[in-house]
Structure formats: structure tokens, C-alpha cells
Amino acid sequence: MRLYAGIDLHSNNNFIGVIDEQDRRLFQKRLPNRLEEILQALEPFKESLEDIVIESTYNWYWLGDGLMEQGYRVKLANPAKFEKYNDLKYSDDKSDTFFLTEMERLNILPTGHLYPREERGIRDLLRRRSFGELNSSRFPPVFWPRWTAVLAAR
């Protein structure tokens, strides 16, 4: 039996959901953002899980890396590519999580690229620099050299 998991990730907690091929909900729970608790919750499903979908947020690195190190196949959902709330009157963490699992089960989930650890620093630097350039009216030119130097030091 194929299973699919989704994780709606927040700054200090997450909501995990697991479904089967017929979209039956087998597991749902809010957990603190502690890798050991997440791994423990997923362990009963490990052998049958096709993928674990994480919604792309600013803080996915620790979770994606931790799951992949334990042998899970991780996909990063790209929320900019789908209209999650079309025709929905109410949305919460549970519905967001199961929306991700359903999209993956149907093989229509838009995904983002999982950058290798060694490339993330450069990528993040370029993203922040381009954000600064795009929003140059918010950052006067006098601060640009300092802003770039601070980012380069990271």
C-alpha cells in the first residue's frame, strides 16, 4: 500500500498528515518542531511512504535534511505554483496538510528544487541581494554596500 505524508511547517510547530491511495486519513497530529518527535510519528509508516511533502517556507532546511538523512524521500511543494485556496471557504493547518498530500497522491504537486547544502549559502545570498535590489526604494543606496557585506559574511 502506498502512503503519502504532508507537513505544514511553521516557526515552532508543524502539522503532519498521512493518507493512503484511496485518500483515507491514517494519521494527523500537530507536533513541536523537534526532529526526533517527527521521526517517531512517521516511523510506523516509513516502509510504505512514497514521499513526504513539505510546503516551501523559509525554514524547511532542518526538516528536509533530517528526513532525508533518515532515508525518507522528501519533496518541496511550491505554493507559488498552485492556487491552494481556490473555492475553499475555510483553510487551516489540517486542510493545508491534506491538500499537499492529495496533490502528491494525484501526481499534480508543483515542486521546488531541493538545493544541496553546499549550494544554499550562495543561493540565499543571491536571493537576498536581488530582494534588496528589487526593493531599492525601501533601502537607500547608502546602505547597499553594508547590506551586501553583511550578507557575504554569512
Answer for the pair 109, 76: CB distance below 8 angstroms, yes or no.
no
Burial (CB count within 10 angstroms: exposed 0-12, middle 13-18, buried 19+), residue 17: buried
- Cα–Cα distance for residue pair 84/86, rounded to 1 Å: 6
What is the spatial distance between Cα 107 and Cα 59, in angstroms, rounded to a whole number?
25
Please name the amino acid found at residue 150: V
Contact 4, 50 (CB under 8 A): yes
Lowest mean pLDDT among 1-10, 80-89, 136-145: 136-145
The predicted pLDDT at position 116 comes to: 80
Q: By the 8 A CB rule, do 100 and 53 touch?
A: yes
Query: Domain residue spans in the chain?
Result: 3-112, 117-153
pTM over 0.85, yes/no: no
Is residue 78 within 8 A of residue 101, CB to CB? The reply is no
Using DSSP's 3-state secondary structure scheme, residue 110 falls into coil
Q: What is the pLDDT of residue 89?
A: 47
Superfamily classification of domain 3-112: ATPase, nucleotide binding domain (3.30.420.40)
pLDDT digits over 97-113, tens only? 999 999 999 999 999 88
User: For 6-37, how does the pLDDT look when each residue is reduced to its tens digit (9 = 90+)?
Assistant: 999 999 999 999 999 999 999 999 999 999 99
Query: Which of 27, 79, 85 is closest to 54 using CA atoms?
Result: 79
